[in-house]
Amino acid sequence: MTGPRTARLLFAVGAGGIGLVFVLAVLRLPGFGQPHHPYGARAVAAAVAQHTANAVGSVTFDQRGFDTMGEEFILFAAALAALLLLRQLRSEEEAAGQRHDYGPEDVFAGVRLMGFVMLPVTLLVGGYVVVHGAISPGGGFQGGVVLATGLHLAYLAGDFRTLERLRPLPVLDVTEAMGAATYTIVGFAALASGAGFLANVLPHGRLTDLMSSGTVPLLNVAVGAEVGSAVVLILAKFLEQALTKDRRAEA
């Protein structure tokens, strides 16, 4: 067997080789901060032409919307796989006739107060980030994560039961699938209208208007719903594992 010493030696040889090649490659790269970005300039021009103020959002959901669909299904498949992998223990626990029952935990009153004050504020910010994805930094991916994190402030405040009430898992199962489906449906709707798949066929509106940039806000909301639900579902499974472990340790 390779001992830790041999492993380190092998690593040093490999890392030295990679490092050498990497440095040689980097020395030939255009310098950091140089002004010529031909692809970037074209992407910015295309974003402005489509009246999308957030050029990153335009690249993600308009100029390479098809790639983002693939990315969305990577997320979908990975969430599904994680849920399947984590499912087993749940069935074991249920077979043993145990139930999950957790009341308020003993945490600082200040932490609890802040948790419940910040929870609605964070959810509002998350919704804002999703909806304004086309005109300000953010979008469906970022806002979805903020929404999912906001819900778990209830857990940080020590109240697992409130968290369980706030996130009806069967509803989120459906929301996640609906988010992924909506993205595809928007693509086919564009196809049906005579344009290409996921072409931006809706009216573009005025730059920086909330309802500007055509399909981008729609796709942002679809992705936001999917990402938010997927993160909550995965975290729910991980929390379940952790809590049943604690319970077993106590018993």
Partner 1 sequence: MFAVLPYLAAGWIFLIGCYGLATSRNLVHAVVSLAVVQSSTYLLLLAVGWKRDATAPVFGDISPGAPVVDPIVQALTLTDIVVGATVSALLLALTIQVAKRHGTIDPEEIRSLEQDSGDDDGQ
d(CA 244, CA 19): 45
Q: Residues 235, 178: contact at Cβ < 8 Å?
A: no
Of 161-190, binders to partner 1 (CB under 8 A) are: none
The pair of structure tokens assigned to 160 is 């697992």
Q: Which stretch binds partner 1 (CB under 8 A): 9-17, 105-113, 150-158, 191-199?
A: 9-17
CB neighbours of residue 218 within 10 Å: 19
What is the C-alpha separation between 99 and 90, in angstroms, rounded? 10
CA 219/CA 204 separation, integer angstroms: 14
Region of 55-63, 105-113, 175-183, 195-203 interacting with partner 1 (CB under 8 A):
55-63
Cβ 176 vs Cβ 232: under 8 Å: no
Minimal distance, residue 106 CB to partner 1, in Å: 26
Q: Rank residues 31 and 170 by Cβ distance to partner 1 and give the closer one.
A: 31
**Tokens of residue 209, six digits:** 């208007």
Please tell me the count of residues contacting partner 1 according to CB under 8 A.
Answer: 60
- Reading the block at residue 116, the tokens are 């419940």
- Give the one residue of 24, 34, 109, 110 binding partner 1; rule: CB under 8 A: 34
**Residue 196 structure tokens:** 């290409």
Contact letters for partner 1, residues 205-234 (x by CB under 8 A): --xx------------------x------x
Answer for the pair 216, 230: CB distance below 8 angstroms, yes or no: no
Q: Toward partner 1, which CB reaches closer, 92 or 161?
A: 92
Q: To the nearest whole angstrom, how small is the minimum distance from the Cβ of residue 153 to partner 1?
A: 19
Residue 209 sits at φ, ψ, to 5 deg, of -75, 150
Binding site for partner 1 (CB under 8 A): 1, 4, 7-8, 10-11, 14-15, 18-19, 22-23, 26-27, 29, 31-35, 37, 39-40, 43-44, 47-48, 53-56, 58-60, 64, 67-68, 71, 74-75, 78-79, 81-82, 85-86, 88-89, 92, 135-137, 141, 207-208, 227, 234, 237-238, 241
